[in-house]
Amino acid sequence: MTAMGVVLAISAALLTAAAVLLVVRMTVGPTILDRSTALDVLMSVMVCAVALKSIQRAETWSLPMLLVLAMVGFVGAVSIARFASDTEDVDTREDDDEDIEGEEQ
């Protein structure tokens, strides 16, 4: 086995261990934020795994797929964070306006 094969095997083993631990965190996580963080990191692990596979085979066709996976992970993390915040920008501005009016009186 070449040096590159050893590095790829170690990297794959570490990514597999990370994925298993992330699945455990997603199932056990007490809050939605724990689960969403684990899901976001799992998407990153998937991107790394696809990148390792493309490095092993010396192929470049998977690069657009890596970009799409990264974008899906980002949009998913932002969506879950927005959902978990339970506030909207409009409501926040209205509350701030009421606080300012209450302080002036």
Q: First CA to last CA across the chain, in angstroms? A: 78
Tokens representing residue 91 in the block: 């409501």
Q: What is the pLDDT of residue 90?
A: 47
Tokens representing residue 68 in the block: 């799409």
pLDDT in tens, 22-49: 999 999 988 888 888 888 899 999 999 9
Q: For the chain, which ranges sit under pLDDT 70?
A: 86-105
Q: What is the pLDDT of residue 102?
A: 59
Q: What is the pLDDT of residue 55?
A: 87
Q: What is the pLDDT of residue 105?
A: 54
Q: What is the pLDDT of residue 11?
A: 94
